[in-house]
Structure 1
């Protein structure tokens, strides 16, 4: 009954202000599925985008907000994933990743979250010379800063990608999983597979998740969002 009660309460609060919602739902909560590049604090991201010359101040914050949000015309997962392009462009330096992860956890703490798992794909942040390991280290620094400043605790999941449009994606995915094993005691909670699900057969990733099992890595897989029930069955059979 408690779950039903809270669903009703949230529905009845659609017109509440953000502050009222925080007060009304300030009970402790756990958030287990957040993508860092899909959960950015917009004000901080706007500031970083300006500093990096990715947007023009005269275009205004509201224009930036629209570029960062999924439009009503979004028809499928591929369209949805296009909305991450600007976010990932901002997050191409260690400083940006550290700031973004810290800001997100501070925001979650204000919302009453006491534990969160934040996932990101390190290989998506290597366009300006940063390595996957440097990306992981930067996010973990931001997480640890937020943990020191608030009561929140967090784990980081490292995502492999179905495709990145680059020929070495499989090698990069293996590198991601090996980094996850290396940083398990530093705050990495596990690994994931994300991205354009229908671009490749789920079966292509069996060897990758055999590696995850060999490394004793907890894992989750995005399956069934676009690829249908067979992808779910295959993913479940991985482990």
Structure 2
């Protein structure tokens, strides 16, 4: 999208102070068409070197105002202006965005360069991921045939991006307790999505081979809970051959 000739020409004209209303409207039509093909995005925006949005798909924001004329965050603009090469891009931190109705999301940005072959960045394009809808759809799709399964998306900081668990709010935080099975040194699980209350009971070595445990002793790494830590053996989790 950042290589679209019409968008590059528009932003070059914006930088020169000679962009026309017709050019901006044509850019909006292009963005609307692209957004119609890629429905996982809330909207697409194009902005000049000052961070001012000059064209957008679905420009009407939830408060009734238009995205056109607003500005992207200063830290985002600085990152975009510093991008090197046409394949480089910048992703915002997980945070609330007016471009997604005030909800927390990720926005993907690429620099738009001058159409004359120069490497000058004349602005950028932002792609607003519809995180609330798409993450929830992923969770529902993953557990559609598993009524007893509860799921959450969390990032490395423990922030909840999406959740199917009552009481675990999206955009809140979840700190993995020391007794939760992902911590590997656990003895029991008290995470809100745990359906057993004692997800894992760890042992120093695998149990003796029996008819009921043969698949477990055969392939330690196939434990669905601790597959990345074969030295820890879960006696209560389910095993797959």
- Structure with more strand by fraction: 2
- Relative to the length of structure 2, the TM-score reads 0.22
Which structure has more RCO (C-alpha within 8 Å, separation ≥ 6)?
Answer: 1
- Structure with more helix by fraction: 1
Which is higher, the Rg of structure 1 or of structure 2?
2
- Relative to the length of structure 1, the TM-score reads 0.23
